[in-house]
Amino acid sequence: MESKVNEGASSSGKKTLKRKHITLTLNQKLEIIKMLERGINRNVIMSKFNVGSSTIYDIKKQKKKQNRAFVAESEAPTKRTELRQTLKMPKMAQLDVALFKWFSAKRSEGKPITGPVLIEKAKQFHSQMNISESCVFSEGWLRNFKDRHGIRKLDISGEQKSANHVAAEEYSAIFEQLVEEHRLSPCQMYNADETGLLWRCLPNSTLVGGGEKAAHGFKMNKDRITILVCANASGTHKLKLVIGKYKKPRAFKTLTSLPVIYEAQGNAWMTSEIFKDWFFNHFVLAVQENFRKEGLPEDSKAVLLLDNCRAHPPASELVSGNIFATYLPPNVTSLIQPMDQGVIQNF
């Protein structure tokens, strides 16, 4: 920060130099604290930062008053502290310091850390420290914590799919006509889509400290299962199919029933055979049962909207009475397929 002075006049008529008010950044305040701890003369510090003795006294007093959080910042200053002029104290400074040290240690090991992980760790520290003060570890709390410590989010990997907006608009009109033609209600319109769950894989993004410019990658564990999520537009009927590698996994040994339909395939992938079996032996029967619950005739119509996955058989092979499938055009799923509008992401 550049030092500036203004000229003034004393009672004797002589010109004197009047120091202009200087606003120090938090990083400069931290530097002053370190200089004081090293025993550097106050006059030297005052001259370097162009401040008065009262400013030095206030900074030293502030350190004593807010010792733990101030020291934590001084031990690991970030680029954000170079610009900040104040240090907003957290309600539970001890927990704040412990959580940031844990975060810094994990990042130094190359471990990816997400927001939900930080929240869960904060709850764990809150319990372990026997802190009597209650706290709601909300998204707002997380945002303030990240802002205090200059934590931001970096993608480790990722790729965005191209989308055809024109085709999406055109198909929306076509699907509306199909709904009107068959007089379908929301409970008669279904969408199903697959997603792979790499259940032993670390996340592909991580929170990082202010000094980190990149998030280094790691060897991905590709143990997976495939999940087919399916629901009607009213959200009143949901079906789940899980595909694993083994017919009888050890984890199922003591189970007599599952809350999902389970199939086995060598690579845990969806195949045309598995999909057709699910459609005719599970989906159709479940939809007909739902018709009875909704008070609809058993011969009511229902449509299953699908994307162009290679494992999905042709629409002509997915017809059972008045229950049939129809397909989205290519490259529109991210725009208009219901399951891609946050359902799978939050599954």
pLDDT tens-digit profile, the chain (347 residues): 444 444 444 445 555 555 566 777 777 888 888 888 888 998 999 888 888 888 888 888 776 554 544 554 544 444 444 445 455 556 688 898 899 999 888 877 667 788 888 999 999 999 999 988 888 899 988 988 888 777 877 654 433 345 788 888 999 999 999 999 999 999 999 999 999 888 777 666 666 666 666 666 655 656 789 999 999 999 999 999 999 999 988 888 888 888 999 999 999 999 999 999 999 999 999 999 999 999 999 899 999 999 999 999 999 999 999 999 999 998 888 889 999 888 887 76
Map tokens 């009109």 to a residue: 173
Return d(Cα 184, Cα 228) in angstroms, integer. 23
Ranges assigned E (strand) in the chain:
5-9, 15-19, 152-155, 189-197, 205-208, 225-232, 238-244, 261-264, 302-306, 319-320, 323-327
Residues in a beta bridge with 16:
8
Contact of 294 with 187, CB cutoff 8 Å? yes
CB atoms within 10 A of CB 187: 20
Question: Closest by alpha carbon to 52, among 40, 43, 63?
Answer: 43
DSSP letter, residue 313: P
* Paired tokens of 198: 């790499």
Q: 93-149 — its CATH code?
A: 1.10.10.60
* Predicted pLDDT of residue 23: 78
* Paired tokens of 256: 């007599």
* Predicted pLDDT of residue 37: 86
Residues 251, 245, 262: CA angle, nearest 5 degrees: 65
Map tokens 């699908």 to a residue: 306
Boundaries of every domain in the chain: 5-83, 93-149, 165-340
* Paired tokens of 336: 């208009």
* Predicted pLDDT of residue 60: 81
What values do phi and psi take at 295, rounded to 5? Answer: 80, 25
* Paired tokens of 235: 């959200």
53-65 vs 26-37: helix axis angle to the nearest 10?
90
* Paired tokens of 268: 């845990």
CB atoms within 10 A of CB 103: 22
Return d(Cα 135, Cα 129) in angstroms, integer. 13
